Amino acid sequence: MWTSRPDGGPGRLLTLADGVFAIAITLLVLDLYVPRGLDAAQYDQALRRLLPDLAAYALSVTVLGSFWHEHRRIFRDVREVDGQVITLSIAGLGVAALVPFPTRLLAEYGDRPVSVAVYAGAVAAMGAGHLALAAVLARRPWLRDGTPSEAGTTLYLVDSATLVVVFAATVPLALIMGSHAMWLWLVLVPVRFLLGRRLQRQV
């Protein structure tokens, strides 16, 4: 059985997370470029070819930005961390650092089912890590000086679980439906909006 032993404040862990998310978002930009020396027709064609890259970039910035915000939210009332919290955080950050790779797959081969499945799997894994982290901290009030945690409420955990379920479900669906499975992600917009509103009223 894992024993919780406080191992200092969360400051360094949050600084590491800020750095990982910042680097991951920066890496997304590196593939956005237009070659030099193009004539007018080639220039227009290059810009059109860049559209899938820009769409994948916008999607991943939204995803990484959202997870960065949620990571800060989870740690808002945390005063100390233990070994399991550190391990779960590092695992989640490892997946976040990997996001530029499936983003590249989605930009270059978005019509391939495997590309969509890999991207969805990465987001689902990142979401599962955040969900596990929030659940662990919810069960350890001594790491928060006994203060109640917004990220430990049932509604917050359901909100996080919704994202994991939708992206995890996309993995097998993508292998059957191809890129059309990505439309399932739009379900998250109204669902998370409604859950977010209810969570704000609850707090």
pLDDT in single tens digits along all 203 residues of the chain: 556 676 678 899 999 999 999 999 999 988 788 888 888 888 888 888 888 889 999 999 999 999 999 999 889 888 999 889 999 999 999 999 999 999 999 999 988 999 999 999 999 999 999 999 998 888 888 888 766 667 667 778 888 889 999 999 999 999 999 888 998 888 888 877 777 777 666 55
Kindly report the pTM of this predicted structure: 0.88
Three-state DSSP string of the chain:
CCCCCCCCCCHHHHHHHHHHHHHHHHHHHCCCCCCCCCCHHHHHHHHHHHHHHHHHHHHHHHHHHHHHHHHHHHCCCCCCCCHHHHHHHHHHHHHHHHCHHHHHHHHHHCCCHHHHHHHHHHHHHHHHHHHHHHHHHHCCHHHHCCCCCHHHCHHHHHHHHHHHHHHHHHHHHHHHHHHHHHHHHHHHHHHHHHHHHHHHHHC
